[in-house]
């Protein structure tokens, strides 16, 4: 599999879930015409990431909204990563579900690092970072997911790498500026993984576009020095942007380079899993 193409659906949400569904389906059809293997939506596309995230706005994983994208994936023979506020007990979850080209649910991920300092403090956090094999007509690629604030914790991408992920998708809803883009660049570099982030365009509150993708390949055979792993960065405007990951090159690179899990010493990192928190990192709204 030489290339894996991800469509970054940097879309402006509409005024209702039904309109978001209709607009999203049209975007998926366009992504297929553009040659995408996988189309990814911004965070919580079902409601356009519009707080408050009340239970009455949440939908089930077999709701009409989600089922339309499942059927569309099968009809288009293209994988789709649908994002929505999921009906869940005791409180809703911020969820992405990936359907493969046969319409099969291969990956369901709920945001682990909910923004408890803000409107997401009423959501149920996820508790794991699953990885799944995505079958495409060109071969199989191992994918995982983070959602927005997950990006700010190195452990998220590290666990996905350890789980076998080659490409990580990141539905997003926040301003993407140099610091957050640098986080994504670092996650790709240190884990030797591709990362595709999809944000809302400028005009959506607290968002500015700049969806991006990093291929994780810092060094190429025969070239001196390192290279920028950025392969696409959108502007502020609404649009569909393609991230073309050189998957065969990434796999060769992962077989020989020094990052990822090649030289780690996990037994020396026990402090990483300790539960204690001390000043200056004590926050009254923290949820364990």
Say if CB 142 and CB 168 are below 8 A apart. Answer: no
The residues facing 230 across adjacent strands are: 214
Which residues make Cβ contacts (< 8 Å) with residue 276, sequence separation at least 6?
none
Q: Return the ∠ at Cα 235 (arms to 107 and 251), rounded to 5°.
A: 45
72, 120, 148, 207: the catalytic one is 148
Tell me phi and psi for residue 272, to 5 degrees: -65, -25
DSSP 225: S
| Closest to 150 (Cα-Cα) out of 129, 131, 177 | 129
* Distance in angstroms (rounded) separating the CA atoms of residues 267 and 283: 29
Tell me the C-alpha to C-alpha distance, in Å, between residue 79 and each of 33, 76, 104, 153, 264.
13, 8, 9, 27, 33
Q: Which of 28, 32, 43, 86 is catalytic?
A: 43
Give the list of residues 6+ apart from residue 260 with CB closer than 8 angstroms, or none.
161, 190, 191, 192, 193, 254
Per the annotation, the verdict on 43 as an active-site residue is: yes
The whole-angstrom separation of Cα 17 and Cα 283 is 35
Write down the catalytic residue from 111, 120, 166, 207: 111
Active site residue 148: yes
Quick one: 100 exposed, middle or buried, by C-beta within 10 A (0-12, 13-18, 19+)?
buried
**Run of H or E residues at 218:** none
Which residues are catalytic, by number?
A: 43, 111, 148
């Amino acid at each position: 599999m030489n290339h894996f193409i991800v469509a970054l659906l940097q879309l402006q949400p509409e005024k209702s879930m039904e309109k978001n569904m209709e607009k999203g389906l049209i975007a998926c059809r366009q992504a297929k015409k553009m040659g995408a293997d996988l189309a990814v939506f911004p965070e919580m596309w079902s409601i356009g990431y519009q707080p408050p995230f009340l239970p009455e706005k949440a939908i089930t994983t077999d709701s009409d909204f989600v089922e339309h994208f499942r059927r569309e994936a099968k009809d288009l023979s293209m994988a789709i990563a649908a994002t929505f506020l999921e009906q869940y007990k005791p409180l809703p979850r911020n969820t992405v579900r990936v359907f493969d080209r046969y319409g099969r649910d291969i990956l369901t991920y709920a945001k682990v690092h909910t923004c408890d300092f803000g409107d997401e403090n009423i959501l149920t956090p996820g508790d794991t970072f699953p990885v799944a094999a995505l079958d495409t007509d060109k071969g199989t690629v191992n994918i995982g997911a983070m959602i927005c604030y997950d990006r700010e914790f190195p452990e998220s991408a590290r666990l996905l790498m350890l789980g076998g992920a080659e490409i990580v998708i990141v539905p997003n809803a926040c301003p993407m500026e140099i610091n957050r883009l640098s986080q994504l660049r670092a996650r790709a570099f240190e884990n030797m993984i591709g990362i595709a982030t999809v944000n809302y365009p400028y005009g959506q509150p607290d968002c500015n576009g700049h969806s991006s993708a990093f291929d994780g390949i810092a060094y190429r055979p025969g070239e001196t020095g390192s290279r920028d792993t950025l392969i696409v960065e959108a502007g502020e405007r609404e649009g569909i942007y393609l991230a073309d990951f050189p998957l065969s090159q990434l796999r060769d690179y992962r077989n020989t380079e020094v990052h990822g899990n090649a030289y780690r010493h996990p037994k020396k990192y026990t402090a990483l899993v300790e539960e204690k928190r001390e000043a200056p990192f004590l926050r009254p709204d923290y949820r364990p």
